[in-house]
Structure 1
Amino acid sequence: MKAKRINHIAIAVNDLDAAVETFTKDFGLTLIREATNGPGTLGMAFLEVGDTVLQLVTPIGPGPVRDFLDTKGEGLHHICFDVESLKEATETHPGGPIDKGGLGGQVSFLKESVHGAVIELSAPLPEEG
């Protein structure tokens, strides 16, 4: 597997609106999209910073981000790398289920952390033929 670039860096926050305000006003980032995940357990805001994205995530219900905030508090949640193929990338580092990403494409979280960091991989949707 070879990562092509950092797709986004995610920070878990308790108050999404307050975090968006902080990063837009204090750091000049531009809000490009707000969304919820498929199951509706996670609120997300995507902010543009140069050629990458800062993703702010907050729990709407129970799940991994709620658990993260309850045990660790706010902070760096994960780093997402773009790869050519999730299938090839997860042959070396097994990943969880492949889902639709908040910015399009498909994503998978590695099942094991890498040196303590949670890693998400992102790849384009396969072309339909």
Structure 2
Amino acid sequence: MSNNGLLGNNFVTQIGILVHDIEAVSRRYADFFGIEQPNIIVTGPMEIAQTENRGEPTPARAKLAFFNMGSLQLELIEPDEHPSAWREYLDEHGEGPHHIAFVIEGMKEKVSLLEGKGMQLLMKGEYTGGRFAYVDTFNELKVMIELLENDK
């Protein structure tokens, strides 16, 4: 196995946190860190995002706020009511940490590799300039992993 493990990259790029009220929580983070409150964006509609949850297309969308903290990005996520890895986790566990993300190359290959080790793809979709996938790594790693692949 390479020095960079299964993903070819062991650099944590992001921590994702689920919230019920992104406006309030992002204001609190901004105050806590003494920085400006970031703009809140909304993920793309199904036609653009091609979002799938547990293998089924879903219209799920979420409000997102990003705090760039040096080499690590903090992502706040407020999901809508539609089926998603976000909504499921928020309903079951409440607010709090949801995933750690890694930038990878070769999304299909990486997902297949992880699935071959019993780590199931939960949700995937597209964003401007790339794609994401959430993989159920709870049994092994006690947290969900998000894979991010950016177009060259």
Q: For residues 33 and 73 of structure 1, what CA distance do their matches in structure 2 show?
A: 24
Q: For residues 30 and 50 of structure 1, what CA distance do their matches in structure 2 show?
A: 15
Mapped contact 1:107–1:123 kept (Cα < 8 A): yes
Equivalent position to 1:105, from 130, 138, 147:
130
RMSD across aligned C-alpha pairs, in angstroms? Answer: 2.3
Equivalent position to 1:13, from 8, 19, 34:
19
Gaps of 5+ in 1: none
Q: For residues 36 and 14 of structure 1, what CA distance do their matches in structure 2 show?
A: 14
Q: For residues 30 and 20 of structure 2, what CA distance do their matches in structure 1 show?
A: 17
Percent identity over paired residues: 26
Gaps of 5+ in 2: 1-6, 45-58, 116-120
Of 21-30 and 45-54, more deviation after overlay is shown by: 21-30
Q: Which residue of 1 aligns with 2:64?
A: 44
TM superposition shift of 1:65: 2.2
Q: Which has the higher helix share?
A: 2
TM-score after normalising by structure 2: 0.69
Letter in 2 for 1:47: F
Q: Which has the larger radius of gyration?
A: 2
